[in-house]
Homo-oligomer: A and B are copies of this chain.
Amino acid sequence: MKKIFIPIFLLISVLQSNAEDGYQLWLRYQPVQNKTRLLSYQTNIRQVVCYGNTPTLVKAREELMKGLDGMLGINTKFSKAETNISGTLIIGTTATAPGLIKLSDAELATAGAEGFLILSKQLNGKKTTIITANSDIGVLYGVFHFLRLLQTEQSIEQLKIVSAPRIKLRLLNHWDNLNRTVERGYAGFSIWNWHTLPGYIDQRYIDYARANASIGINGTVLTNVNANATFLTKPYLEKVKALADVFRPFGIKVYLTARFSAPIEIGRLKTADPLNAEVQQWWKNKIDEIYSLIPDFGGFTVKANSEGQPGPQDYNRTHADGANMLADAIAPHKGIIMWRAFVYSHEVPDDRHKQAYNDFVLLDGTFRNNVMVQVKNGAIDFMPREPFHPLFGAMPKTPLLMEFQVTQEYLGQATQLAYLAPLFKECLDSDTYGNGKGTTVAKVIDGSADNHALNGMAGVSNIGSDINWTGHPFAQANWYALGRLSWDYNLSAEKIADEWLRMSFTNDAVFVKDARKMMLSSREILVDYMNPLGLHHIMATGHHYGPGPWVSNLSRPEWNPTYYHKADSMGIGFNRTPTGSNALSQYKPDAAKAWADASTIDEKYLLWFHHVAWNQPMKSGRTLWDELCYKYNSGVDSVRWMQQTWSKQKDKIDAQRFEQISMLLKIQEQEAVWWRNACLLYFQTFSKMLIPANYEKPDRSLEYYRGLSFPNAPGN
């Protein structure tokens, strides 16, 4: 780039006009505002010395330059070797900088294969900061952590940080199709432009990798679990290779989805039977082909015999037969198979809640050791609130991979603010009692409960082609939270929100406090106006946009909201106790007992497990009907509180995002009213009770709400 003359104030205008379209996510590297901190940073980072020139270490250095250039306001010197000055930042692996970075074996062991150390030391009597690790990627993670300290204006005077990921596979799942539509995507279309790959590398691919590395994500499943087999053909594998080459220096492996019937569709075989030798050979050859292009290919995610997808049961084989066949073919390359447990069949008359458990528990111990079973956080489907999936704690011989949904299919989609870290945490912190008290879902997931070396957490991505990646600016926080919790699920939702707000907006204390409060309340608010008291799956058909509790005409019973709320003249709710479907029996007794009794259950799960009479008194003293009215109205009121809180932030942040979020909150308020009115009017046809006079009356009829139609709602 040519040297250009640029007066300062007009750069400010450039900054203001361009910098806040959200594209930079939490990696904005804005100038440090706190003068004391700035001085400390400048003093501590007078020069940077980077040891090593591997692709990953080059990325670490480049990121550091970008970050320090942006934040410090001095021309940080990047040196090849240390000059003996105070204020040196050294980065490098323990191998590339062995003479300088003398660490104890214990420290190094703690960092492990991917972790890092950040240490303030005196070297030759001079102030030195060291970022090191046992691996290149550890150094890159350390650099991002260090930059985060500056971004959030933390002290770097006396650092002694050792950090290593608690979970080994930290994955995004993209439900992206060949034609760039994204199933359950609400942020535009797929960022993978298959047509121009492999020749054209979009800058987005690089920035995607940077963003993921900054939060520790180390794997990405590029394609939809419902995608067709074309992705496994040669031209597409070359495109995948191009992406893998971009992601590799950032420590990110690529994975694909394996359509079980691919041997028929693209291999021209007559069967996809996993016990058929030709089929086995076809997969072996296909996998060898993939590894010849992508030597560090991660493996496959498979959705089989679920919602119409082909699978081993088509040939009277088990899920284990299918998974093991693929596992054997990929084992020589050290790849893995992630076999999804999200299965249910309308031929099985039992409660859908129970079906995955029924299919999979018996298979525990029959999977190869490079198979993981991928389990959604709950047994139904990514509801705003859902008890943890009963498979957690019930398959000790099998590594279970957590599947969260980052994209907000059932939580407001494109237009609503819902911070999901509390939802993720609620599940991870749940006690399965699998190996007795304290066997939390997190301990099942990280492998510690049952000593599984293979362990992982995946999130269904909310990333799309919108300039700001996620549509709703606050949805970026959910991507961020998924990564941070995969690294360390002990981080609090509050801490993660705090970091993200400071990096994404400003360190202004009032703003951070207000916006953090909004974030932390947001999911509970949404539950209130959408699915209070354990209601679930009452969204409209197909696209799941808006309420549809009245829908009862879909071909499979368990696709109908009426299947889930079971409202009738007596009451409402799904009886999953022994007098009902007894899904409760799938939980360990100590876990189940908290939910077994309608009079003692935490009411947020009440209608999930119990059918309750309309006039049943709640803990508040209100009847169930009045409590429903209260919750729905409280949700709406709280959205209005969010609007008010946000309106006070106008002077704190850039105009573009302020206005953007103001508009979205207004839509959220309208949609909350819609949810409240539609649900109360509909449930009222059963309860025959009045909405208490102190609440807003629905200003539209039930027929109006039932008549709304959104054939072009996104993500369907």
Q: Which residues of A contact B (CB under 8 A)?
A: 1-2, 4-19, 21, 23-24, 30-31, 33, 66, 69-75, 178-180, 188-189, 194-196, 199-201, 203-204, 230, 414-415, 465-467, 506, 508, 651-656, 660, 663-664, 666-667, 670, 710-714
Q: How far is the CB of A208 from chain B (nearest CB, A)?
A: 13
Contact B75 A2 (CB under 8 A): no
Q: A713 vs B711: C-alpha distance in the bound complex, in angstroms?
A: 25
The answer to whether A2 and B199 touch (CB under 8 A), given A75-B9, A189-B188, A712-B179, is no
Contact residues in B for A506 (Cβ distance below 8 Å) = 2
Contact residues in B for A19 (Cβ distance below 8 Å) = 14, 18
Residue in B5, B9, B31, B660 whose CB lies within 8 Å of A7: B31
Contact residues in B for A178 (Cβ distance below 8 Å) = 712
Q: A712 vs B233: C-alpha distance in the bound complex, in angstroms?
A: 13
Contact A16 B31 (CB under 8 A): no
Contact A14 B17 (CB under 8 A): no
Number of copies of this chain that the complex holds: 2
Contact residues in B for A199 (Cβ distance below 8 Å) = 415, 663-664, 666-667, 670
The answer to whether A195 and B714 touch (CB under 8 A), given A70-B10, A415-B200, is yes
Contact residues in B for A9 (Cβ distance below 8 Å) = 69, 73, 75
The answer to whether A656 and B203 touch (CB under 8 A), given A18-B19, A194-B712, is yes
Contact B10 A196 (CB under 8 A): no
Residue from A4, A14, A200 whose CB has the most chain B CB atoms within 10 Å: A14
Q: A73 vs B666: C-alpha distance in the bound complex, in angstroms?
A: 39
Q: A200 vs B667: C-alpha distance in the bound complex, in angstroms?
A: 8
Contact B712 A195 (CB under 8 A): yes
The answer to whether A66 and B13 touch (CB under 8 A), given A4-B31, A33-B5, is yes
Q: How far is the CB of A214 from chain B (nearest CB, A)?
A: 15
Q: Taking CB as reference atom, which chain B residue is nearest A413?
A: B195
Contact residues in B for A71 (Cβ distance below 8 Å) = 10
Residue in B1, B467, B667 whose CB lies within 8 Å of A651: B1
Can you list 23 A-B contacts with CB-CB less than 8 angstroms, sorted by A residue number?
Answer: A1-B651, A2-B653, A4-B30, A4-B33, A6-B8, A6-B11, A6-B15, A7-B74, A9-B73, A11-B11, A18-B23, A18-B24, A21-B203, A178-B712, A180-B189, A188-B188, A194-B712, A195-B414, A195-B712, A195-B713, A195-B714, A199-B415, A204-B467
Residue in B15, B74, B654, B713 whose CB lies within 8 Å of A14: B15
Contact B7 A73 (CB under 8 A): yes
Residue from A664, A670, A712 whose CB has the most chain B CB atoms within 10 Å: A712
Residue from A11, A12, A31, A666 whose CB has the most chain B CB atoms within 10 Å: A11
Contact A508 B2 (CB under 8 A): yes
Q: How far is the CB of A2 from chain B (nearest CB, A)?
A: 6
A10-B31, A230-B711 known; 4 new pairs, CB 8 Å cut-off, are A4-B31, A6-B8, A9-B73, A179-B712
The answer to whether A69 and B13 touch (CB under 8 A), given A19-B18, A179-B712, A712-B195, is yes
Residue in B11, B17, B74, B655 whose CB lies within 8 Å of A66: B17
